[in-house]
């Protein structure tokens, strides 16, 4: 029986609930570089879950539901590692001299981490070259958006910030390094334990 993606549901609900907050309160939760200089760090965490409008929210939450559920079906710890790695890598970009952005919001950076992890898991299962092709096309899309400063598929009220997408995608190997090996080890241990138990029952 397929288990319900509890974490995916919670994270999607978080983004939706934050969108219902009063506008004055929402304004304090975006990443704002001037607030960061004043010692207010909350935007580095909350800014990822804030959105520039309903269209932005629907695009991001829809993608989050699909990608996060596919990873959570494989491993909940890996999903958490992926979200954390994507958030940290995007935040490092935002606070670095390379950031160059005054305000930031949205899940798109983290979504690229989830996309990279989901493609890797699919490739491990199928060994299909299509997974590699899709990954390369994603990189090309980000580079085009960085070059022209225009999103290829979405249109929101804020200007797109493609470097965050690249930072998120680059977090993929970090997420896999942290979460994939432990997940595989846990699954092997569980399988081995279950097999031994079944053998003992049969032998009895």
Q: What is the mean pLDDT of each successive set of 10 residues along the chain, which is 204 residues long?
A: 88 98 96 95 97 94 98 96 98 96 96 98 97 97 91 78 97 95 51 40 34
The strand pairing partners of 27, in sequence order, are none
Burial of 126 (C-beta count, 10 Å sphere; 0-12/13-18/19+): exposed
Q: Specify the DSSP class assigned to residue 103.
A: E
Q: Render 104-172 in DSSP notation, one character per residue.
A: E--SHHHHHHHHHHHHHHHHHHH--HHHHHHHHHHHHHHHHHHHHT--SS---SSPP-HHHHHHHHHTH
Structure confidence at residue 183 (pLDDT): 59
Structure confidence at residue 199 (pLDDT): 35
Structure confidence at residue 47 (pLDDT): 98
- Asked whether the beta carbons of 43 and 29 are under 8 A apart, the reply is yes
Among residues 105, 117, 109, the alpha carbon closest in space to that of 68 is found at 117
Residue that has been written with the tokens 């299509």 in this structure: 130
- Asked whether the beta carbons of 183 and 77 are under 8 A apart, the reply is yes
Q: How many CB atoms lie within 10 A of CB 194?
A: 10
């Amino acid at each position: 029986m397929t288990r319900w993606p509890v974490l995916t549901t919670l994270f999607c609900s978080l983004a939706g609930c934050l969108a219902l907050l009063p506008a004055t309160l929402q304004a304090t939760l975006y990443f704002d570089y001037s607030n960061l200089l004043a010692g207010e760090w909350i935007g580095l965490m909350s800014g990822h879950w804030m959105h520039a409008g309903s269209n932005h929210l629907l695009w991001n939450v829809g993608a989050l539901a699909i990608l996060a559920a596919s990873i959570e079906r494989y491993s909940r710890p890996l999903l958490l590692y992926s979200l954390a790695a994507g958030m940290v890598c995007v935040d490092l970009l935002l606070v670095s001299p390379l950031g160059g952005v005054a305000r930031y919001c949205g899940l798109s950076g983290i979504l690229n981490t989830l996309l990279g992890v989901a493609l890797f898991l699919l490739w491990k299962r199928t060994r299909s070259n299509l997974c590699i092709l899709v990954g390369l096309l994603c990189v090309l899309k980000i580079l085009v958006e960085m070059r022209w400063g225009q999103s290829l598929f979405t249109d929101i009220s804020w200007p797109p910030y493609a470097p965050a997408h690249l930072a998120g995608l680059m977090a993929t190997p970090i997420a896999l390094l942290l979460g994939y090996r432990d997940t595989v080890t846990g699954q092997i241990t569980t399988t081995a334990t279950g097999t031994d138990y079944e053998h003992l029952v049969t032998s009895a």
